[in-house]
Structures are given as structure tokens and as C-alpha cells.
Chains A and B, each alone.
Chain A
Amino acid sequence: MSDSNKTVTKKNEPAKKKTVLSLKKRQSQRREFLRSSLLTVGFVSLSLAGLLPVVQGRSARLRPPGALKTPLDEQKFFAACIKCGQCVQVCPVNAIKLADLDEGVGIGVPYIDAREQACDFSCDGLQCVLACPTGALTHDLDYPADTRMGFARMDNPKTCLAARGQGFKGQVRGPDFKGLLRYDEIDRWAPIPVADHPYDLELCDLCVRQCPIEIRISQCAAQEKERAAAIEAGKLTGKIERVAEQFGNECPPKHAIELQVIESDDGLKRMLPVILDGCVGCGVCEMICPVEDSPSIVVDIDKITNWA
């Protein structure tokens, strides 16, 4: 549009209006316009402040299985998540929580506080992934061992009971601890409070013993044994491939953690939990570690191994 055109239209229209509107009306209109501009700037700034936690890089945390993210870049996950909490509702151990306003744009996005309640894959089928309506928890995974939430790390070997050659007796994390775990030998379908399941161990190996991946490996071994016995007894013929298909690569998964003999400075041989490639970062070891105040073993979200 040329300048001359602009001036013509400008001259015509507002001139007409000005004669119609009183001074008072014009003033109130101008005030309304100012107020409206302030409201827009104010509310948009507030919503933009929600980006601060992301920009400052303090929003990344342990997310449910299948979260659409690289270790520290959660943009896609935040974008795809519709903040409905259906993942929260299906989790049998209530491991998933929704972030609050202090997480900015991450508000309503699910996370896991492993020390309070880790994901122990009680559901087997990754219910949270199935429940997600937007694919923010990607449907690409089929088995717990496919997930990569984080990676465990021995944070403080000095406090580790196993490294100190100590056992553990009693309730892990005390009688008031609310965390749940599934104990296969008690009820496969109903997780119970860890406080209701006291231990008596000569050497503490809780992080290895309760690791869902290690538990799965022993299940696979048991199934393998059963099957071998069945074949030997002639009860199972021609079905071997089917069973293998059914479990795919998942059974058995790769080892996630084991106690290894380590020679310490004083020349003594000690057992120390060592994290292996199969760790999925579910956080059960962090939850179950009986060392009070701060656990010896923690889950990092920034070091996920690429072993696939």
C-alpha cells in the first residue's frame, strides 16, 4: 500500500469517529486500551516465566519409562505431554507424580522421585506407557528392559553396607517408610509396603536382590529350567520356538547390577555393587538402599548407556 493511500483512509475514518465520541468516552477508551495492553504483557510474561526452569536447565529429572527425551533434553517430552496424569492413575506402586508450578512449563508433567517410590515394574506391561494418550511416553518399548530412564551410580562407597562387609537386619528405611515393592514370593499382583517385609541378611545386597532386572533374569532362568525339564520329560515338543518368540530378546535381559569383589586400600577384599550395562535407571536400588540420610547408590539421569 502506498503512503498516499494510507493517509487517505486515516483521514476519512477516525475523523468521522472523533466527531461522534465525546472526550470522556475517548479517554475511557484509551484507558481501556492501556489496561488491555498491560494485561496482555503481564499474563504473557507470567506464562513465559514458565520457561525459566527449562532455560536454567533445572527441570530435568527422573521420568516414567519411555519418556520422549534424551538424557537432558526434555523439550519433546514436555511438548507432547498433555498433563492429564493418566500415567499416574495406572501405576500400581504410585511411583509417578505430577510436577507443580515451580517446574514452570513442566507443570503437570509426570516424574518419579526414586528415593520415595521407585518404579519397580510391578505392572510388567508398562501400564503408564499404554495409558499415555499423546505418545509423550513413547509406545516404542515393549518390555521394562527396553526403557532407559537413567543409570545407577555408586555415589558413596564408604557408606555402602556391602563394601563395609556389613549385613542388614530389620525394616529397610524404618517402620514409617511408605514405599511399595512387589515381592514375587508373596503376591505377584499386589505390591506391599517395604516396611512390611523385614530382611535378615548376612551381607547387605538389597540393591542387587531387589533390582527388577536381576529379578527378571532369575525368572527367565527358572522358566528356562522348567522348559528344559518339560522337553526332557517329552511334554513339550515343537513349542520351543514359540516360547523363544514370546520372550524375544527380553528374556533374559542384560545384567544390571552385581556384587563384585573389590580389593580396597587396606588390602582387604570387599564386595561392592557394580552397575552394569543392563541398568534401566528405575531407581529401586536408590529406594531400597538402607543407608539413612543419603543413599549410597543413586540414579543419574544424564548418563544413559547406549548399549542397544
Chain B
Amino acid sequence: MKYIIESFSQVYGNNPTRPDKENQSDELKKIYKDKVGNLSKADLEAAHLEHHSHFFRKWQRRRWLTLILVNVLFLVSYKYDVQLLEGAMTASRFVGFHMADLNSALQVMLAYKHVVLNLVIGTTTVFIMWLLLGGRTFCSWVCPYHLLSEWAEFLHLWLVKKKIIKNHTFHRKTRSVFYVIFALLALLSGYTVFETISPTGIVSRAIIYGPGVALLWVGALLLFEVFYSRRAWCRYVCPIGVTYAAVGTLSPIRIVYNAEACHHEGDCRKACLVPHVLDLTIRGRAHTLDQDVIADCTRCGMCVDICPTDSLNFKIKGLDKFL
């Protein structure tokens, strides 16, 4: 329950709650205390070297492959009439089973104000699927805009490093404001206003049905992210992420943080799309020795890849009980 409340609080835009010093376990306190003066730069560098030497960016490779495969499957299903995954990211049929993107379905229901059975079936299927797979897993493992945005991010980070540009942040609550506004707009105008500017739908349809003028908008968004604000769409605007984050609060697939070997040097937070979820890796900020990263996390695995001390890992909640 605490996990769900904390997840919603952070998705809404609040800062992560800081642990109460008195409630932190003695074990955790001891670990933090023992690290004082014991974390040398040499140790960290050695850990980095050791880490880079084997299997670096394992999760990124798996994720990109999955994302590309899913989107290619859409294309191939149509172009070569394979009929495995028909439709687009907003709604589709997987070997005949209805699937509907939760946010698109929500927008349609709010605008249309009727609910068709097929849409209920599609929404339920997709809800259960992402419930099992981690909610915002959709964002980093399937959403085609995410990949484009990730590449734009590399460019952005390089420009920042060269001191050519500066990153501008927005308030994280902006995304919640957008969420409410887009829901209200659909409800009041009777049109799915958000879909007009949603790069997820636009890119997905462009891949499957061919490019159009709408890609110019996606290009403009990417330029905005490269030159002005890192990952602005995913971080501060996209309501799809909020919808899936809500699903993710109940999901067993999570990233778990263990404070023991952590050097608190912050590589993970620098790599993360939603760095507030990793504030618990700051020294003294973990509540417990092993703590789950909250549901705004996209389960992209960048932090798992980058952590030199193996302090962040994927886990399936409840699975350890079976094993």
C-alpha cells in the first residue's frame, strides 16, 4: 500500500518522501555509517572498469530489439498480410485478440461517452498485460517515440557536455496538469484532442501506413528535446506515461535497489528518464536495505546496465517465494 501511495505521489509530481532517520533500520544506518571515508575514487574506478569489461548495456540491447521487433511486427503484419499484429499502437488485434492502448481507449471513452464491448475487451487485455509486465514498460519497451527520443537524448547530452546548450527543466507537476487538461478536453469538446499531437500514435501510424505531414510535428518535438529540454515530452507532457504508471503501481515487475554495495555516485540518476525515482540511491535516502523503485519507473534497465556495483536489479515481486 505504501508503495502505491508513494508511486501516485511521485507520478503526480511530488518529491520522493525522505526517510525518517528513526525509522531506518539499524542495518541500513550501519551500512551508511561504514561507508564514510571508505568509498575511495580508486575503488569506484576499479568497479567501473570491471563493470564495463563485461556485458555492458545488456538491457538496452534487449529493449531496443523488443521495441523494434514489435513495431516491425505491426508493419510486416500489414505489408505482407501476416495478420499477427494488425492495427497500430493505439488499437490492434494480436492473432485476432483485441488490444487497445489504455490512454487512447480512455480518450475515446471520454469523447464518445459510450463504451463498445470490443473496446472493453481490448482495454482489459492490455490492462492485464501491462499489469503483469510493469506498466510503464510500455513506454521504454514498445513506444516508438521513446526510441527516437532516446537517440535525440544522446545528441542533447553530447551538446550539453560540449557546453553548447543548457538543459531546461520543467516542473514535474506539469504532466499531471496536462493529464487533467487532456481528459477534460476530450470530455468537453467531444474530440480526442490529445491524439492530434500524440507522437506515439503519429510515429506508429507513419511506420505502418507511410509517412505524412504529421512527422514534421514529431521532428519539431525532437528538436525541442535536443536543444532545449531533455526528454521533455516523456517527462513533462505525455499522459500515456501517467496512465501506464497507474497500472504499474500494481505490477510485480520492478527495479529493486540494494543500498549495501552502492557508491552513491549517481551514474544511474544521470542515465534515468525519470531520475526522481532513483533519489533513494542518494546516501541516506533509502527507507530500507532493499527498496523497490516506484511505478513512475519505465523499467528500461538503464540504471541496471550502468550501475558498477550491481545495486540495482530487475525483480519479480513474489517470485522469490516460489523459488
Contacts and interface: CB of A to CB of B under 8 A. Distances in A.
Interface of A: 32-33, 35-36, 39-40, 43-44, 46-48, 50-51, 54, 75-76, 78-86, 88-90, 98, 100-102, 104-105, 107-108, 131, 133-135
A76 B111 CA distance: 8
A108 B105 CA distance: 14
Contact of B195 (A33, A39, A40, A108): A108
B41 to A, nearest CB: 29
A39 B78 CA distance: 37
Interface of B: 77-78, 86-93, 98, 100-101, 104-105, 108, 111-114, 116, 118-119, 122, 168-171, 173-174, 177-178, 181-182, 185-186, 189-197, 201-202, 205, 208-209, 212-214, 216-217, 232, 236-237
Contacts of B169: 32
Given A85-B208, A101-B213, 9 more contacts: A36-B174, A36-B236, A82-B119, A84-B87, A84-B88, A105-B196, A107-B195, A133-B98, A133-B119
B165 to A, nearest CB: 15
Given A40-B178, A83-B88, A86-B92, A101 B189 contact: no
A43 B233 CA distance: 10
B191 A51 contact: yes
B236 A39 contact: yes
B170 A85 contact: no
A78 B195 CA distance: 11
A80 B174 contact: no
Query: Helix, strand, loop or mixed for chain A's interface?
Result: helix
Nearest to B212: A100
A83 B213 CA distance: 16
B171 A82 contact: no
What 3 pairs across the A-B complex have the smallest Cβ distances? A50-B196, A79-B111, A101-B214
A168 B216 CA distance: 44
B202 A107 contact: yes
A44 B192 contact: no
Nearest to A77: B112
A43 B178 contact: yes
A296 B212 CA distance: 31
Contacts of B105: 82
B108 A82 contact: yes
Query: Helix, strand, loop or mixed for chain B's interface?
Result: helix
Given A105-B191, A107-B214, A35 B112 contact: no
A72 to B, nearest CB: 15
Nearest to B211: A100
B196 A86 contact: no
A186 to B, nearest CB: 21
B98 A44 contact: no
A48 B192 contact: no
A33 B205 CA distance: 34
A101 B211 CA distance: 11
B181 to A, nearest CB: 6
Nearest to B89: A84
A75 B87 contact: no
B87 A89 contact: yes
Contacts of B108: 79-82, 134
A42 B313 CA distance: 39
B209 A98 contact: yes
Contacts of A108: 88, 90, 195, 201-202, 205
